[in-house]
Structure 1
């Protein structure tokens, strides 16, 4: 049965390819990224390419730093007055120094996140690198 269907399947496949054109791997981003792990960082911001700013991958986590980050994240997510961007801000803790990165709606949100981080036990310093979408 299959041998009789094979020519039909091949004909239909060829017709579909002729109608849609060939699909190159470069056009399929998911395939391309999976095939080439060096390109997984294409979404990084331009400023991150120099490796001079912290990213969550740079967090040399100690148990204390993990607890600090978790407590800050919990407090930020619980605060429903914050925008989704603010609730998803990057929180990076290294030796008690907290770095906040990412977009927030305005200066008030930036300051609010900074204050939340400062109030956490174990925080030595807060480096606020949040970006305000509105002036």
Structure 2
């Protein structure tokens, strides 16, 4: 009987200890530096946004044609395939990040081929390269690097 009571007491105390909220992490979270992209978000909301895309048939068809042509171009990156295409009264705005200046130009030329040169506002940005390639390189041994 004592053994059962002792096991029950241990289980109960373990449950209490592990269910208590951690106090130390709350203090750490408040002192951590938080990402602040509010300036970029404010700037992005000043221009044309995707919710301003007109629902009329010609604008939807224009957006569909451009999107289809962009996705069909397999030389473009995933980022480029996901560029925002916003058509309002026949005017097209292109927004979002791409990997290179050539992708930016390619997407603009695709859109120009559909709506004409004077109907494009190109707000596409060339994104800075990520450190993924550098991290992979660090993980390789000297022999794998060719040294």
* 1:47 shift after superposition: 3.5
Specify every segment of 5 or more residues in structure 2 that has no aligned partner in the other structure, as ranges.
1-7, 27-36, 130-147
Normalised by the size of structure 2, how large is the TM-score? 0.60
Paired position in structure 1 for 2:17: 18
1:132 aligns with 2:132: no
Q: Counterparts of 2:120 and 2:126 in 1: how far apart (Å)? A: 17
Query: 2:55 pairs with 41, 61, 72, which one?
Result: 61
Instruction: String of CA shifts for 1:88-123, please: whole Å, max 9, x gaps.
Output: 000000011100000011111101100100111578
List structure 1 segments (4+ residues) > 6 angstroms apart after TM superposition. none
State which structure, 1 or 2, has the greater radius of gyration over its C-alpha atoms: 2
Specify every segment of 5 or more residues in structure 1 that has no aligned partner in the other structure, as ranges.
1-7, 28-43
Report how many aligned residue pairs link the two structures: 105
1:49 aligns with 2:42: yes
Task: Evaluate the alpha carbon distance shift between residue 20 and residue 102 of structure 1 in structure 2; reply closer, same or farther with a 3 A threshold.
Answer: farther
Q: Counterparts of 2:54 and 2:20 in 1: how far apart (Å)? A: 48
1:72 aligns with 2:66: yes
